[in-house]
Amino acid sequence: MCLAVPAQLVHINETIGTVELTGVQRECSLLLVPEAKIGDWLLVHAGCAVQIVDEEEARLTLEAFRELEELEQDYFNGKIESRS
Amino acid sequence: MNKITLTEKSKVAASLLERIHELHNPEETVRFMEVCGTHTVAIFREGIRQMLPKGIELISGPGCPVCVTDQQYMDQALAYAAREDVVIATFGDMLKIPGTTGNLWQSKENGAHIEIIYSPMEVIGLSEQYPDKKIIFLGIGFETTIAVIAATIQAVHAKGLKNVFFLISHKLVPPALRALLSNPEHQIDGFLLPGHVSVIIGEQPYQFLADEYHMPSCIAGFDGVEILAAIVNLLEQRKEQTFYVGNTYRSVVAKTGNSVAQQLMDTLYEPSDDGWRGIGVLPASGLKLRGEWSAYDALVQLPLGTFTTSDGPKGCQCGSVIQGMIHPDACPLFGKLCTPEHPVGACMVSVEGSCSAWYKYGFSSGGMTWEE
Amino acid sequence: MERIRLVHGNGGKFSHELVDQYIVKYFSNPILNELHDGAVFPVTTGRMAMSTDSYVVTPHIFPGGNIGKLAVCGTVNDLAMMGAVPQYLSCGLILEEGLPISTLETVLQTMSDMAQLSGVSIVTGDTKVVEKGSVDGIYINTAGVGIVPDYVQLGTSYIESGMKVIISGTLGDHAIAVMGTRYGLDLPDTIQTDCAPLHKMAHKLLETFGKDIAFFRDPTRGGLATTLQEIANSAQKGIRLQESAIPIREEVQAVCQVLGYDPLYLANEGKMIAIVRADVADEVVQVMRTFTEGRDAVIIGDVVNGNAGKVGLQTAVGGIRLLDMLGEDQVPRIC
């Protein structure tokens, strides 16, 4: 129901950020992610960032996909905790 | 950011599919519901349904906000659109939804001022551009969009804008899941949970699925491999008979969700009973603005006279489709009287609607499916 | 700033001034310069192709081109896709009162450049001016004729199963360049219209491969998906595409993600689909790649037995997605 895309925060002007995805820039509101900082990847929905992408988790997800053995299930059911 | 390549994707998908075959008992039929409309579209776009072994069915749930918007809401929107002093701001999908007397495209063609916007935040610009008009935003959506609309209301408030109002029909996913399961005839063996709603609310609100209903559930992203991984997870839970809220989308879905968004929503809104097209009114399944925020509530500030709302269109099975009781092509109107070009029911209106996705990606006038 | 006035279209002195000062200035050639109501030109024996198209794009000027570029290349390409060598164009202009003359000149200059690049002459035309608000700035209609060489045999009836489907380059560039300007998106400079005349490449292919080429088509409005669906329907054959083979620029993909568009349905103005015999497919790609407008050419699928009238996309995860024609226009959506 909700399209959202990750994009990188490149500029902050108070509560308005500029995010970039492969050269395409857009403004988005940072009201829901007040702790976002330049360089963070943000998940953007309808012109508003709704979460900061946890890059460590993104890496682990990718790894879990690549390995696909026991690790995967343990990871997805929360038995492998990342730094948090 | 590190992303999966298409070649990797093919390999990963192949091994996930192998796992699915290992885990699935070919003797039985299991039905998993994808709750989210974006999942429905992704599943069709990637052709996942046909890849799965016989006996694993994916059914599309009530997760397209456009599709579950009820007739009364559309009639209110049409009534506002007819006013000279109003500018309607809305997401594009809403224009096609039928109300009793027509849809917003027709209003637009008849001269109503309707602005299609991408972000609710654009109402701020519209307010400045049309200071003498009342800007009404059609605030539909589930938790993801609700959070964004809440942030918009906060921004409008901070700027002291007096001519921006919201026609609110906010819907919550967990109460809808509970309602589906409380129907004794439900056919659901597990849920693919909506990734971006979960970004806001986290994992905890789904815990009742495991605790009360022993129902496998897994939060999934929107890439084909993320969806396949979630199906693997559901089958694992089923096989092990241990139930929990799985999560294959942990890069953005934290256990506790986005607490800033949750607090903001709590400040602005209170729970309300809400009408779902095809399902009816579900208790505490929606949100409405709290009294102290009524300055932004269109229905309070710009009351509408009474008018009658008709029932939904005759013969339309949207309700059964949304609840996963039937596949879209079991509806007598499907593909005949009701097509994406001439939709009868709301599930055909939105590109994410179960019927529209089914028609567009799984059924075309030439025949049903691709045959090898 | 000088602007177009209604009197520029009344057929009197002002009309003549407009034609003499601007139209003839840019399009000048012996046939046009007769300034009669039509054009007379010599013909050879054989077959001729004729095509017409109207251009109404908003905005008129966008990254990498303008409406004039579309107006010439579009008709030239329509002729080229029929296997014709384009020769003569007509140009009908509908101008809105108040249009800056500098904008008109920019458009005419581009049309002149593109005509020269395409080896065609603009030999007749017409100009009307309408009241402010009746049209959006400038609309252009062009019609064109060209000679079809004897060795050309193109048509959906020549499409057979086993043939390969080739696309000459990346998809969606034109639509995204135009929409980016329309919606005020901040796009990287690499997103530009792909608008370009394709006749040289088309002609070279036909010269080299003759009847091994069954069909040409440029996937303009409705994009690759709609065009292939039309072809599959008309040929009563199935077409199977490989998702991972379809070339789409990263940045175009990014805009599509942000706005919820599907690149397979986006318009292109400088791309062609070729359906060719399998044994020459690799060579066709090599020849295309010797042209700038074909440098990203690649085989994206094949014509299959069964599934008549259907286009199936083999996705990266291994499923098949059926592609339908474009229905409603794509609008930015969130859900």
Share of chain B above pLDDT 70, in %: 95
Residue ranges covered by each domain of chain C:
6-148, 156-322
> Is residue C184 over pLDDT 80?
no
Beta carbons of A2 and C334 less than 8 Å apart: yes
Q: What is the pTM of this model?
A: 0.85
By CB atoms closer than 10 A (0-12, 13-18, 19+), residue C102 is exposed
> Is residue B364 over pLDDT 50?
no
Beta carbons of C321 and B45 less than 8 Å apart: yes
Least confidently predicted of A34-43, B354-363, C272-281: B354-363
> Is residue B312 over pLDDT 70?
no
User: In the prediction, which pLDDT does B134 show?
Assistant: 97
* Rounded mean pLDDT, C206-218: 97
Model confidence pLDDT, tens digit, residues B43-53: 888 889 888 99
CA-CA distance, C253 to C272, in Å (whole number)? 20
In a domain, B11, yes or no: no
Q: Chain C contacts of B351, Cβ < 8 Å?
A: 333
User: In the prediction, which pLDDT does A76 show?
Assistant: 66
In a domain, B337, yes or no: yes
* Rounded mean pLDDT, C316-332: 74
Beta carbons of C319 and B224 less than 8 Å apart: yes
Residue B305 C-alpha, separation from nearest chain A C-alpha, in angstroms: 32
Q: Chain A contacts of C251, Cβ < 8 Å?
A: 22-24
User: In the prediction, which pLDDT does C45 show?
Assistant: 81
The whole-angstrom distance between residue B358's C-alpha and the CA centroid of its chain comes to 16
Share of chain C above pLDDT 70, in %: 97
Residue (of C249, C240, C248, C253) closest to C300 by Cα position: C240
Q: For residue A22, give the chain C residue with the closest CA.
A: C251
Following DSSP, what letter does each residue of B103-165 receive, concatenated?
-HHHHHHTT--EEE-SSTTHHHHHHHH-TTSEEEEEEEE-HHHHHHHHHHHHHHHHHT-SSEE
> Is residue C270 over pLDDT 90?
yes
CA-CA distance, A78 to B256, in Å (whole number)? 13
Question: Is A63 near chain B, with CB under 8 Å?
Answer: no
Model confidence pLDDT, tens digit, residues B259-281: 999 999 999 999 999 988 878 88
- What's the CATH number for C6-148? 3.30.1330.10
> Is residue C213 over pLDDT 50?
yes
Least confidently predicted of B163-172, B240-249, B324-333, C99-108: B324-333
ipTM of the complex: 0.89
Quickly state the pLDDT bin for C302 (edges 50, 70, 90). Answer: very high
In a domain, B142, yes or no: yes
Q: For residue B39, give the chain A residue with the closest CA.
A: A1
CA-CA distance, B234 to B215, in Å (whole number)? 9
Q: For residue B91, give the chain C residue with the closest CA.
A: C333
Give the DSSP H or E segment for C118: helix C101-118
Beta carbons of C327 and B340 less than 8 Å apart: yes
On whether the CB atoms of residues B229 and B220 are closer than 8 A, the answer is yes
Beta carbons of C335 and B350 less than 8 Å apart: yes
Give the DSSP H or E segment for C322: strand C320-323
What is the layout of strands, in order, in the sheet containing C138-148? Answer: C47-55, C138-148, C85-96, C121-130
- Which tokens in the block code for residue B297? 């509530």
DSSP state of A39: T
In a domain, B317, yes or no: yes
Beta carbons of A1 and B200 less than 8 Å apart: no
> Is residue B368 over pLDDT 50?
no
CA-CA distance, B318 to B326, in Å (whole number)? 9
Q: Half-sphere exposure of residue C190, counting CA atoms within 13 Å on the CB side?
A: 12
Q: Chain C contacts of B359, Cβ < 8 Å?
A: 324
Give me the CATH topology for the region C156-322.
Answer: Phosphoribosyl-aminoimidazole Synthetase; Chain A, domain 2 (3.90.650)
* Rounded mean pLDDT, B92-106: 86
CATH number of the domain encompassing residue B130: 3.40.50.11740
CA-CA distance, C260 to C183, in Å (whole number)? 14
Quickly state the pLDDT bin for B102 (edges 50, 70, 90). Answer: confident
Mean pLDDT of chain B: 89
In a domain, B271, yes or no: yes
* Rounded mean pLDDT, C33-43: 89
CA-CA distance, A25 to B161, in Å (whole number)? 27
Residue A26 C-alpha, separation from nearest chain C C-alpha, in angstroms: 7
To 10 degrees, what angle do helices A55-67 and B6-23 make? Answer: 60
In a domain, B368, yes or no: no
Model confidence pLDDT, tens digit, residues C73-99: 999 999 999 999 999 999 999 999 999
Beta carbons of A26 and C186 less than 8 Å apart: yes
Of B65, B228, B361, the CB nearest to C317: B228
Beta carbons of A24 and C334 less than 8 Å apart: no
User: In the prediction, which pLDDT does C66 show?
Assistant: 95
B221 is in which domain, residue-wise? 25-361
By CB atoms closer than 10 A (0-12, 13-18, 19+), residue A20 is middle
> Is residue A71 over pLDDT 50?
yes
User: In the prediction, which pLDDT does B2 show?
Assistant: 62
For chain A, the first-to-last Cα distance in angstroms comes to 29
Q: For residue C177, give the chain A residue with the closest CA.
A: A24
Quickly state the pLDDT bin for B367 (edges 50, 70, 90). Answer: very low
Ramachandran sector of residue C227 (left: φ over 0; alpha: ψ -120 to 50; beta: rest) = alpha
Model confidence pLDDT, tens digit, residues C190-208: 899 999 999 999 999 999 9
User: In the prediction, which pLDDT does B59 show?
Assistant: 86
Question: Is A80 near chain B, with CB under 8 Å?
Answer: no
In this structure, the strands spanning C138-148 and B245-247 are: unpaired
Model confidence pLDDT, tens digit, residues A8-43: 999 999 999 999 988 888 889 999 999 999 999 999
> Is residue A1 over pLDDT 60?
no
In a domain, B298, yes or no: yes
Peptide bond into C59 cis (omega under 30): yes
- CB within 8 Å of C266: residues ≥ 6 apart: C171, C172, C174, C175, C176, C223, C252, C256, C330
Residue (of B126, B53, B56) closest to B90 by Cα position: B126
CA-CA distance, B238 to B98, in Å (whole number)? 40
> Is residue B181 over pLDDT 80?
yes
CA-CA distance, B268 to C179, in Å (whole number)? 36
CA-CA distance, B41 to C172, in Å (whole number)? 21
> Is residue C329 over pLDDT 70?
no
Residue (of B367, B358, B298, B302) closest to B328 by Cα position: B358
Listed by number, the residues of chain B in 260-299 with a beta carbon closer than 8 Å to a beta carbon of chain C are: none
Least confidently predicted of B59-73, B108-122, C158-172: B59-73
Strand partners, C213: C276
Q: Chain B contacts of C333, Cβ < 8 Å?
A: 91-93, 351
User: In the prediction, which pLDDT does A69 show?
Assistant: 52
Q: Chain B contacts of C332, Cβ < 8 Å?
A: 92, 116-118
Of A1, A25, A44, the CB nearest to C335: A1
DSSP state of C238: E
> Is residue B325 over pLDDT 50?
yes
CA-CA distance, B342 to B332, in Å (whole number)? 15
Quickly state the pLDDT bin for B26 (edges 50, 70, 90). Answer: very high
In a domain, B370, yes or no: no
Residue (of C131, C300, C183) closest to C231 by Cα position: C300
Q: Chain A contacts of C191, Cβ < 8 Å?
A: 24
Cβ neighbour number for residue B357 with a 10 Å cutoff: 27
By CB atoms closer than 10 A (0-12, 13-18, 19+), residue C117 is middle
CA-CA distance, C154 to A19, in Å (whole number)? 48
CA dihedral C146, C150, C154, C157 (to 10 degrees): 130
Number of domains in chain B: 1
On whether the CB atoms of residues B338 and B358 are closer than 8 A, the answer is no
